[in-house]
Amino acid sequence: MANTTSGKSSVDVPDTQPRGGSTGVSFDWGFALSLILTAGGSLVGRPIGPELPLPVAFGALGFAAVMVVQGEALRRGNGVARRIQIGFHSLLVLLGLVTIVLAVQAFQQGRFDMLYTLGLTLVLTLGVSPAEIWLLLQPGSRRWYGNVDPNEASKRHSGGWLVGVVLWAVAGGILQAVAP
């Protein structure tokens, strides 16, 4: 429906602007890269971190493909992808709460080698995930996702936006993959 006073489509009106897309897409693609690096390293005999058995490595690659598709669906404004993203990040928040206990236990036992991995997990699950949920639950996001034309969403989320998202995804994916 067009806004007759400004000539802009309803998707361009400020209160309908989506929130959380760049965070969600970079998280999904970064997680996929982490899985690809970890599984790929195991498959070629040069594991990054613990070596994964073949079935686990192939499963990780399959899940990486799912994460790439999820990120792309979110980038294109898919409403189902938004709901999946909210559910996935809700589960990650629960994982973060469990990780607090694990981090305290590791610290008490003097297992400081685990603190980087646990700290990174805490930042992602109790920092990024709640922020992503909150952003995707904003009124503009609720109205935008599922109502925007996928081609319009792709045009909006390309160029500089896409370069920034890919850079964040690569940085996050590598940091996660090299975590001990």
Give the pLDDT band of residue 4 (cuts 50, 70, 90). Answer: very low
Residues 6 or more apart whose CB falls under 8 angstroms from that of 47 comprise 38, 41
Look at residue 34 and tell me if it is in a domain: yes
Taking the mean position of all CA atoms in its chain, how far away is CA 177?
14
Token duo for residue 158: 């390309």
Which tens digit of pLDDT belongs to each residue from 79-132? 999 999 999 999 999 999 999 999 999 889 998 888 888 888 999 999 999 999
Q: Does 5 map to a domain?
A: no
- 32, burial (CB in 10 Å: exposed 0-12, middle 13-18, buried 19+): buried
Model confidence pLDDT, tens digit, residues 16-50:
688 888 999 999 999 999 999 999 999 999 988 78
Q: Helix H segments across the chain?
A: 21-43, 54-75, 79-108, 115-123, 129-136, 139-144, 150-156, 160-177
Confidence class for position 5, pLDDT limits 50, 70, 90: very low
Count of the separate structural domains present in the chain: 1
Phi-psi region of 68 (alpha: psi -120 to 50; beta: other; left: phi over 0): alpha
Confidence (pTM): 0.84
In a domain, residue 1? The reply is no
Q: Per the domain annotation, does 136 fall within a domain?
A: yes
Residue 107 falls inside a structural domain:
yes
Instruction: Give the per-residue pLDDT at 8.
Output: 53
Among residues 60, 120, 34, 128, the alpha carbon closest in space to that of 88 is found at 128
Flag whether 119 is in a domain.
Answer: yes
DSSP string over 18-60: --SHHHHHHHHHHHHHHHHHHHHHHHTT--SSSPPPHHHHHHH
Residue 77 lies in a domain: yes
Amino acid at 29: W
Neighbouring-strand partners of residue 9: 2
In a domain, 7, yes or no: no
Range of the domain at 120: 16-177
